[in-house]
Amino acid sequence: MDLTLTPRWAIELASAHPVARFAAEELRRTLQRLGAPALPIVTQADGPRIVLRHGPGGDAFLRATDHAGMLLRGDGPRGLLYAVYDLLEALGCRWVVPGPAGEFLPRRERVVLPAEGLADRPAIARRSLVLGHDLFLADAEAWIAWAAQNRLNTIFVHTIGHGPAIGACRLATWRRRRRVLLPRLTERGLDLELGGHHLRDLLPRRLFTTQPDLFRVADGYRTPDHNFCPSNPQSLALLRQHATAFFQTYPEAQVYHLWPDDLLSGGWCACPSCASLSPSDQSLLAANALAEALAALRPTASVSFLAYHTTEAAPQVVRPHAQVELLFAPRPRSYAQGLGDPQSRLNPVYATQMAEQRAAMGGPVAVFDYYLDAILFKSALPPLAQVIAADMRYYRSQGVAAVHALMTGDRPWLAAPINAYLFARLAWNPEHDPAALLATYAEVRAPRSPAALQRVYTTLEHAWQAVLDRSPAEAALRREVRNQRDPILAPPLDVLDYMAAARPDCELRLERMGRMQADLLAGQAAWDAVMQSAFADRATLEAERAEWEVAAGVLRFLLLRQQLYVMAARGAERVALQQGLAAAQAGLDHLLAWAQTHVPAAARPGHLLLRTILQLHLDQLADQHIALPWQRATLRARRALLLRNLAGDPRLVWELVRR
Ligand SMILES: [Zn+2]
């Protein structure tokens, strides 16, 4: 049969399900934009038609042609929506990043439907984009539309209720935005997960004055600083009560995340009753109490148990409530290799922990990954095509039920990151060739020089390897930082701040980093080629190039900082160290100058706060190896003032140390 769409054709949809209706509308609208006639949506077509059908639930779908046209069938209404997007992709449509800059719709004289049939299903059941900053919540409409187009099925709004909103959206912002955003999720059948480190909010700190026994014991004393005492039945009763109120205030989520405090040290209780319980067991006691409260309201929703920092190890004593789901968040893992890669120097530990957690918890496993976390990667993102592909293959082999990609940062993107597209596509099908995905992305973004844009990302991905592939000794460094209040003696160290590792680790690192230069030069040349052929898309490509420049700037700074620390480790002369310090400072100043041009004023304090931590690393070295006693005092006073001006409160910096 002739599959050319003519005005005789119709879209046939018998279902009244709102997601199926949305799928039909989306099909009609987009086909028209491609050049097809406006097809009526009817419950029963007489002539040629695209018939849309769905079952009760599920994301799998099929496409087939028959004597009267075409059939699209989803296992559920959302599966039908994916079938529609898949058909549009077969017709050449692409949505590589949110908004018009990431959309490609080929205009045609005639639209001819593809004759070949297919069936497709996701490798991982829940595929979730985590919105982890008010900045990204502000653009959530575009992210939600894009997520559905690329077959993600969950949006996780990562929130914080108290303190500085670094790496999370304010709960108050979600309350303001949800009236607009919930209908956008519902019409596409996307699920919502909600929450973050809220556990402390469910046991008000003011109770400490009258009921100190509710709170934890640390260093021999009760303190309201972190979490609470989970062995006290009264603490758990209050937790259930306040959690009930939370679930009633936010009835829109399918999975709730009410995690403990975000601390490297965990912050759990050492009272006689808790002393024999590991942080994981204590945390699971709390999660179980939350699940009991949830079970009374919503028997199909669940609460996550966060395996993170001190709760990475599996609980030994406590068993999970049926509505508690494991959420494994291996933030310190290596992003140079897949989590299941036995050759990785760091990841096998996390793969083992995941397996042990899974055995102890019994139910489905959700993994929380950091592919879009610009705080972890210092306000830039490494392209992670190979690693995401390897991770997704591994997670599928382990029967992982859900994958989340945390998107957070300290500034708005100038161009949405490529990892979002890679993650969405690979979570659906880990057998996708990462190079082919990169090629598709490049064809949409730079249609006149896709090969050059692809080279931009392959060289950048390769350059980042020299920074991401850590040794165990380097990875251990940040656990050794004492919780000092002097940011110059002990500046915050995050995953990539391993410059003070002992020899030979720091020297080997420097040697590897030196080889990044060739990749960065190749990337620069590739960008020149892209820009030479840019036309109407010049502005969006320039924005994307600026994102590349900050990534290159971060890599160059890390190299210069490493060089300085290696010189110090080798006992270089003071004069030589001064030169090394000046070079590293110039690298940092370059990043600050970039921020002046590219970070909007409203986001600048948060961005500069994180950049100041890099300054503190240079200060620490100057303090230890270069500064004279009188200069030290001046340095400290200057930094204290800087931090106070930026944060209003230097303790803000310590919020960052703990993640
Ligand atoms: Zn206790």
| Residues 228-260: tens digit of each pLDDT | 999 999 999 999 999 999 999 999 999 999 999
494: left (phi over 0), alpha (psi -120 to 50) or beta: beta
- State the pLDDT at residue 648: 63
Determine contact, residues 492/613, Cβ cutoff 8 Å: yes
**Cα–chain-centroid distance for residue 568?**
35
Q: What is the CA(319)–ligand 1 centre distance, in A?
A: 18
Within 13 A of 416's CA, how many CA atoms are on the CB side? 25
Instruction: Collect all residues with Cβ–Cβ distance below 8 Å to 246 and sequence separation of at least 6.
Output: 198, 202, 256, 258
Q: What is the CA(211)–ligand 1 centre distance, in A?
A: 13
Q: Which two tokens stand for residue 535?
A: 């036309």
Q: Which two tokens stand for residue 326?
A: 């494991």
Determine contact, residues 235/214, Cβ cutoff 8 Å: yes
Q: What is the CA(472)–ligand 1 centre distance, in A?
A: 33
Instruction: Collect all residues with Cβ–Cβ distance below 8 Å to 401 and sequence separation of at least 6.
Output: 124, 125, 126, 364, 365, 366
Q: What is the CA(218)–ligand 1 centre distance, in A?
A: 9
**What are the residue boundaries of the structural domains of the chain, listed by start?**
10-120, 153-415, 458-481+489-657
Q: Which two tokens stand for residue 274?
A: 């808790």
- Secondary structure class of 255 (helix, strand, coil): strand
pLDDT digits (tens, 9 = 90+) for 607-649: 998 999 999 999 999 999 999 988 888 888 887 787 777 766 5
The C-alpha atoms of residue 10 and residue 44 are separated, in whole angstroms, by: 9
The residue length of the chain stands at: 659
The C-alpha atoms of residue 309 and residue 106 are separated, in whole angstroms, by: 48
Give the closest residue to 368 by CA, choosing from 339, 410, 397, 336. Answer: 339
- State the pLDDT at residue 651: 55
- Secondary structure class of 123 (helix, strand, coil): coil
Enumerate residue ranges in the chain where pLDDT < 70: 481-485, 647-659
- State the pLDDT at residue 632: 87
Q: What is the CA(272)–ligand 1 centre distance, in A?
A: 7
pLDDT digits (tens, 9 = 90+) for 336-391: 999 999 999 999 999 999 999 999 999 899 999 999 999 999 999 999 999 999 99
Neighbours of 548 (CB within 10 A): 24
The C-alpha atoms of residue 405 and residue 393 are separated, in whole angstroms, by: 15
Q: What is the CA(24)–ligand 1 centre distance, in A?
A: 56
Q: Which two tokens stand for residue 168?
A: 């999370």
Q: What is the CA(197)–ligand 1 centre distance, in A?
A: 20
β-strand partners of 615: none
When computed from its CA atoms, the radius of gyration of the chain, rounded to whole angstroms, is 26
The C-alpha atoms of residue 104 and residue 95 are separated, in whole angstroms, by: 6
Q: What is the CA(261)–ligand 1 centre distance, in A?
A: 16
Q: Which two tokens stand for residue 202?
A: 């469910």
Q: What is the CA(230)–ligand 1 centre distance, in A?
A: 6
Q: What is the CA(209)–ligand 1 centre distance, in A?
A: 17
Q: What is the CA(214)–ligand 1 centre distance, in A?
A: 8
| Residue 340 backbone dihedrals phi, psi, to 5 degrees | -90, 10
Looking at the domain 10-120, which fold is it? Chitobiase; domain 2 (3.30.379)
Element (H, E) at 21: helix 18-34
Give the closest residue to 254 by CA, choosing from 203, 182, 179, 166. Answer: 182
Angle value at C-alpha 340, between 337 and 342, nearest 5 degrees:
80
Q: What is the CA(215)–ligand 1 centre distance, in A?
A: 7
CATH of domain 153-415: 3.20.20.80
Determine contact, residues 599/606, Cβ cutoff 8 Å: no
Q: Which two tokens stand for residue 455?
A: 């080279």
